[in-house]
Each structure stands twice: as C-alpha cells, then as structure tokens.
Amino acid sequence: MKTVKTLLKTALFGSMIAASSLYGNAEFDLLKQYVVEQKLDMDKAMDRKTWIPDADGLVENISDYFILDIRSGDVAPKNGKPDFEDGHIPGAHNTTFENVLNYAREHKAPDRILVVSEDGQAAAAAAVALRMAGYPNTKTMKFGMAGWNKKFDVWSEKRGNLSEGHKNWTKEAAPAPKKLGETPALKTGKKTGKEILEAQVQAFLKRGFQAVQPQELLENPNKYFVVNQGNAKAYGQFGRVAGSQQFNEPMINPKDEKKFGSIEFYPADKPIVQYCWSGHAAITVASWLNILGYDAKGTAYGTNALFYDKMTKAQFKKPEGYGFVTGK
C-alpha cells in the first residue's frame, strides 16, 4: 500500500510539474531564448544610431517611409476635429496604437516604417512592438508631430523644472545595481518562443499606451522601482529621483554590464518606471520590458519636464516649419 501511495504521489507531483511548465518561468525562459536568437535583445530593439531621427533628419527622404500616424484624438490644435484631419505628413496612414501591428500587416508594410504620434511618446512604444513583431527597422520621429510643425506643438507646454527644490530630488550617488534573479510569470498558454512573443506583443498593444507623468513620479517614487535611464557621468551633475537606480538599458545577454545593464537588475514583482532625457528612450526600454512580462512604464517628457533649464542636450527647443496636408 505504501508503494502504491508513493507512486501516486510521484505521479501527481510529476503532473503538477508538467502543468506548471506550460506557464510561469518556463514560458519566460522560452521567450527570452527566442528574443536573443532573433536578435531582438534591447540593443537591437533600440539601436541608438538609427531608431529615433528628428524631423530635420527625416524631411528630405520622408517619402521613403511607410508612415503610421497613430494620433486619434483632438489634442493639437484643439478645434473639435481629429488631429490627423487637421494635418499630417503627406502619404501618412492613420491608425491607432492598439491596431498599429494589424494595420502594418494588412497593408503589407515594408520594413521601413516610421511611427508618428502627437509628441513621440506613444510612437516610441508602438515602434518597439513593431520591431519585436517582425519589422526590425521601424523608426519613430523624435518629438512627434510637435517637432514637425508649430500647429501641432504640444511639447513646449510640457517643458519645466519640477525637480527644483523638490523633497524627492537628490544629488547623492545612486546605489550600485544588484542582480535580483527574478523573472515574470507568463501565462499565455503558448508552447514556443515565437508564439509567446506574438501573444505578448498583442497583449501590450491591446492594453494601450501607458506612461507615468513626471509629477506622479516625483510625488510618489516609493511606489515604483525607479531607474534613471543612463549612467552617472551623463546625469550625475543634475541629480536624480530619490531612491532611483542609475544604469543603462537592460539586456538579456549584456556584452559589457558597465555599458549595458542587465535584465537581472529588474524586479518582476514591483512596478518599474524608467526616465531619460525626453521620454523616448525610457518608454522604449519600458515597452521592451513590458513585452517580456515586466510591469514597466516610461516617464513622459523625461528630464525636459524635470530640469529643462539646466539641460545641455536633448531639449525640445522649437518646432520645425515643415509642410502637411489636411483631411482624411
């Protein structure tokens, strides 16, 4: 009888292990391996040399791009009409953040996509989803349509110096990052890395674009695992959000952890908030982490909202005056 009970317990335990292997960390391991194999680690998902040209760097060859304009509201100018109808880059296609991947596939978009939004923040997130889903050369326009023409300028009003004298801003050195060894528990029910990635990208787009506002970050930093997206050399003179970490973008397989961070520095059980100079890089990194299963967001407008007057680079200064067409 004891032998039978032992066999039953062993079989039950084995079935539990088999069932759990379909979910949780087993799925994450499959996804992580697939991302590396497909050259979608963070340094490829955000190739700093090519991923975010500004309007001035795009205008001469703008017709070479399949432009996905994901503006859907009446943000700038506020006149009761959708922003896309108020004006868009000639040849642009209008869709939404949630539908950006389906639209690209339905219209057989080439792997030369440019994503545009009001201020470049949502576009940065959408571009990551497209890169992870088979369009690795997707770009996003820095500062969005606000940088293209003053008619669409929503950026100027976002500039500020919120960190000045704030109780949650410090110039103390950040602590050295620690490897946490935690991984997200994924539950897509898929059995291959390719299928898991597809499910994660679709879920990310379905949730819609999400970013933390700079005021929220400053007032409630303890709610988050905060990362100042960059090294001390770049940001040290300006200070940082109290309690924040300070290291470069994470990688699954970092070639050099002094140059790149490690995904093992990030917790799987706490909301993560990144911030950078203009929001674009932090949102890109957070989106990549989100697709991998972390609860991560970027901070909109970055240090342009936190200490604009002290910045020596990456400032939004003024819109260009490039042309646009109106209507649907």
> Domain limits of the chain?
42-157, 169-310
Taking the CA atoms of residue 268, residue 221, residue 253 and residue 190 in that order, the dihedral angle to the nearest 10 degrees is 30
Q: Is the pLDDT of residue 224 over 50?
A: yes
Q: Which residue has the higher pLDDT, 257 or 212?
A: 212
Q: What percent of the chain has pLDDT over 90?
A: 82
10 pLDDT band, cuts 50/70/90, is very low
pLDDT at 44: 85
261 pLDDT band, cuts 50/70/90, is confident
Range 76-97 average pLDDT: 96
Range 108-114 average pLDDT: 97
Q: How far is CA 281 from CA 7, 177, 314, in A?
A: 54, 19, 11
How many CA atoms does the CB half-sphere of 124 hold within 13 Å? 31
| Third-level CATH fold of 169-310 | Oxidized Rhodanese; domain 1 (3.40.250)
Q: How far apart are CA 257 and CA 131, in angstroms?
A: 24
End-to-end CA distance of the chain: 77
pLDDT at 6: 42
Q: Is the pLDDT of residue 18 over 50?
A: no
Q: Which residue has the higher pLDDT, 5 or 260?
A: 260
pLDDT at 236: 87
Residue owning tokens 């340094």: 43
How many CA atoms does the CB half-sphere of 121 hold within 13 Å? 24
Q: Is the pLDDT of residue 20 over 60?
A: no
Query: 55: which residues sit within 8 A by CB, 6+ positions away?
Result: 141, 142, 143, 147, 148, 319, 320, 322
Range 302-308 average pLDDT: 98
Nearest to 144 by CA among 309, 301, 306: 301
DSSP string, 276-319: -SSSHHHHHHHHHHHHHT--EEEETTTHHHHSGGG-SSS-----
Domains 42-157 and 169-310 share a fold: yes
Q: How far apart are CA 299 and CA 275, in angstroms?
A: 5
> Which CATH code of 3.30.565.10, 2.40.10.10, 3.40.250.10, 3.30.420.40 fits the domain covering 42-157?
3.40.250.10
258 pLDDT band, cuts 50/70/90, is low
pLDDT at 277: 96
Take residue 262 and report the two structure tokens written for it: 């490690």
